[in-house]
Amino acid sequence: MAQYLLGLDHGTGGAKACIIDDAASVLAYAYREYPIYSNRPGWSEHDPHLYWQSACEVIRECIGKAKIRPEEIKAIANSSALPSLVMVDKYHDPIHMAYNLMDRRATLQVQWLRDNIGDQRLFCVSCNRLEDHPTLVNLMWEKQNRPESFARIYKALTIDGYVRLKLTGRATANYSSGAFFGVAYDIRKNAFDEELLQEIGISPKIMPEFFSCEEIIGHTTEAAAESTGLVAGIPVAAGSVDCNAGWAGAGAIDPGDIQINLGSCGVIGVVHEDPELICDTMINCSYITNSRKVFATVAATTCGGQSLRYLRDNFAQLEVATEKSVPGFSAYESMERQAETVPLGCEGLLVLPYLMGERTPLWDVNARGVVFGLSLNHSKAHLVRAMMEGVTFAMYDSFRIIEQYCSKINLPIVLNEGGARNRLWRRIITDVFNVPTVFVKSRIGAPMGDAILAGVAVGIFQDFAIAKEKVEYVDPMDPVVENHQRYMDYYALYGRLYAHVREDYVELARIRELSPSAQHAPDSANSTGEAV
């Protein structure tokens, strides 16, 4: 009898799903983009209702494309971009808009934690720096700024947790997401420090129940089946953070395996089994393949592929309009072709791509984008390539630390998902990093890892080894030494630019907070906003 598995992922930019068979062959894939709302400085939100709507749409589409009966789906697993926050009431309805990973509003709460708890104690518990603005910090913001709404919270969930709630009726989280709850979550013990939770004023009662990624946490309900086109009773696994799922699905299952995603964020991940390999400038989390024993050291630049989405939405209106009217035309591919006409270094144009602050290794919530060297000879094509180069420099900041810190790195670097489809961008990364790279041929991404996780959860797959057996790497690239040397000149200037404006970012944030628009902006829960 046929056995099929469903993987489902919600990223910062949209929802994806795939269906695979018991040989890990992909039968169907679907995607839905949804808007990002940024109605106030430092805020980045989603409409949480779109998570479930998009899930229903991509699941139904995949079932139709795969031409299978819903009862033949034997398990489901899902993932999402983190940190994120969906607050639900006792009726499982969302309270306010949902936070996505680019939201950086909770600066005062971070300072309170630093002053009253201390960075060292927080790091010893969580194994992560404070500045990543994780779920618990955002809950502190909610308690201080919207106490009446905070009092209505039944559970504080991640995006994937909210989708599992809709699928099964159970409020759950997985060990790989624990690091992104942060502050009081110990990734070594996979549990909250309840004393610390009490000190920061967050009740453990509003936390979901945590499980190992491959544990079955429930089954699809009749209501979920009616909405999605599934059947009731399908086992649902605890799931994973999306970058873990994407990497594992593309074969990163052994210590030292390294991959780069260029989704909304630019994310580098290295797999390891050393609980003491905790780097204070990186993100540290449990890994999907064995979330009790395996870890990932993760570097993340806040705006990776999102930087090109920003350029597309705000500077490529003609390309977007053409995409809607001309079958087969891609706005992103058109932007890439334009950027290919621009030489390395963009004829003296540099971009600091910190459109929503920056994470590793700078950890600067106030950082914002800078375009440096703009001249009359520069075009939109120059700006597109300069943004690609700037994001690559931001990731290279972290890669240099990873090289020194991780004793085992298995080259070539595997480029996977999002902007990695862009061959020019892969060439830039190869030359800047000065290492060989390959590209994942089948770019299903996180849903593929989720589907394999679902198979592991119900025993269809013994482990994730099938991911490495099935993956195919193409378009190998070796770095061009001359290009790397030229890029290092620009990279050195890139670093000095940030050093020059770092304190100015602080002043800009102070002035911005005094502006009438910051003080009297409409409540984003009721605002339609503009998609970034």
| Side chain identity, residue 379 | S
CB-based burial of residue 6 (10 Å sphere; 0-12 exposed, 13-18 middle, 19+ buried)? buried
Banded pLDDT at 1 (limits 50, 70, 90): confident
pLDDT band at 517, cuts 50/70/90?
low
Between the alpha carbon of residue 421 and those of residues 424, 443, 492, the distances in Å are 9, 8, 27
> Cα 251 to chain center, whole Å?
18
Percent of the chain with pLDDT over 90: 91
Asked if the structure places residue 58 within a domain, the reply is no
The model's confidence at residue 89, banded by pLDDT at 50, 70 and 90, is very high
pLDDT value of residue 525: 37
Domain membership of residue 179 (yes or no) is no
Quick: pLDDT tens for 19-52.
999 999 999 999 999 999 999 988 999 999 999 9
Widest Cα–Cα separation across the chain: 65
Please say if the pLDDT value at position 206 is more than 80.
yes
What mean pLDDT do residues 247-271 have? 95
Average predicted confidence (pLDDT) for the chain: 94
Phi-psi region of 459 (alpha: psi -120 to 50; beta: other; left: phi over 0): left
Nearest alpha carbon to residue 246 among 176, 306, 158? 176
Q: CB of 264 within 8 A of CB of 303?
A: yes
Percent of residues, the chain, with pLDDT higher than 70 = 96
Q: What is the CATH number of the domain that holds 312?
A: 3.30.420.40
Flag whether pLDDT at 518 surpasses 80. Answer: no
- What is the pLDDT at residue 514? 82
Does position 447 have pLDDT exceeding 60, yes or no? yes
End-to-end CA separation in angstroms for the chain: 46
Q: In this predicted structure, what is the pLDDT of residue 516?
A: 63
Two structure tokens written together for 72: 């033949």
Distances (CA, A) of 336 to 386, 421, 531: 12, 10, 22
Residue 428 included in any domain: yes
Q: Give the closest residue to 290 by CA, choosing from 248, 246, 332.
A: 248
Identify the residue whose tokens are 């950027």.
339
Both structure tokens of 401: 């630390």
Question: Which of 47, 132, 30, 53 has the alpha carbon at shortest distance from 94?
Answer: 47
User: In Å, how far from its chain's centre is CA 440?
Assistant: 18
Cβ neighbours, 10 Å, residue 184: 24
Q: Are 219 and 232 in contact (CB under 8 A)?
A: yes
Beta strands in 90-132 (DSSP E): 98-99
Query: Residue 520 has which token pair?
Result: 């009297």
Contacts of 243 (CB under 8 A, 6+ apart): 261, 263, 267, 269, 296, 298, 446
Position 133 scores a pLDDT of 77
CA 223 to chain centroid, in Å, comes to 29
237 inside domain: no
CA gap 80, 9 in Å, rounded: 5
For residue 519, pLDDT beyond 50: no
- The two beta strands, 350-352 and 370-372, are antiparallel
**Reported confidence tier of residue 524, pLDDT bands at 50, 70, 90:** very low
pLDDT tier, 508 (very low <50, low <70, confident <90, very high otherwise): very high
Q: What is the mean pLDDT of residues 46-64?
A: 98
351, part of any domain:
yes
Tell me the angle at which helices 380-405 and 423-433 cross, rounded to the nearest 10 degrees: 40
The two three-digit tokens of residue 9, written as one number: 């992922």
Rg of the Cα atoms in the chain: 22
Cα 46 from Cα 39, distance rounded (Å)? 11
Angstrom distance (rounded) from CA 15 to CA 356: 22
Quickly list DSSP for 444-504: --HHHHHHHHHHHHTTSSSSTHHHHHH--EEEEE---HHHHHHHHHHHHHHHHHHHHHHHH
Give the pLDDT confidence score for residue 424 in this predicted structure: 97
Amino acid 301: pLDDT: 95
Q: What is the pLDDT of residues 465-479, one digit of tens each?
A: 999 999 999 999 999
Tell me the pLDDT tens digit for each residue of 301-353.
999 999 999 999 999 999 999 999 999 999 999 999 999 999 999 999 999 99
Q: How many CB atoms lie within 10 A of CB 116?
A: 9
Is residue 479 within 8 A of residue 436, CB to CB? The reply is yes
The pLDDT tens digits for 99-144 are 999 999 999 999 999 999 999 999 999 999 988 679 999 999 999 9
334 is a domain residue: yes
- Range(s) of the domain holding residue 396: 305-438+477-522
Q: Enter the tokens of residue 464.
A: 């994730």
> CA–CA separation, 129 vs 445, rounded Å?
27
CB 109 within 8 A of CB 144: yes
Query: Which H or E run includes 347?
Result: none
pLDDT digits (tens, 9 = 90+) for 279-299: 889 999 999 999 999 999 999
Q: How many residues make up the chain in this entry? A: 532
Residue 514 lies in a domain: yes
Residue type, 287: Y
Amino acid at 461: F
Structure-token match 């963009």, residue found: 346
pTM exceeding the 0.95 threshold for the entire prediction: no
In a domain, 419, yes or no: yes
Contacts with 321 (C-beta within 8 Å, 6 or more apart), sequence order: none
Cβ neighbour number for residue 513 with a 10 Å cutoff: 12
The answer to whether the CB of 431 falls within 8 A of the CB of 464 is no
Domains of the chain: total: 1
Q: How many CB atoms lie within 10 A of CB 371?
A: 16
Q: What angle do CA 298, 248, 36 make, to 5 degrees?
A: 60
Q: Report residue 38: phi and psi, to 5°.
A: -135, 75
pLDDT at 297: 95
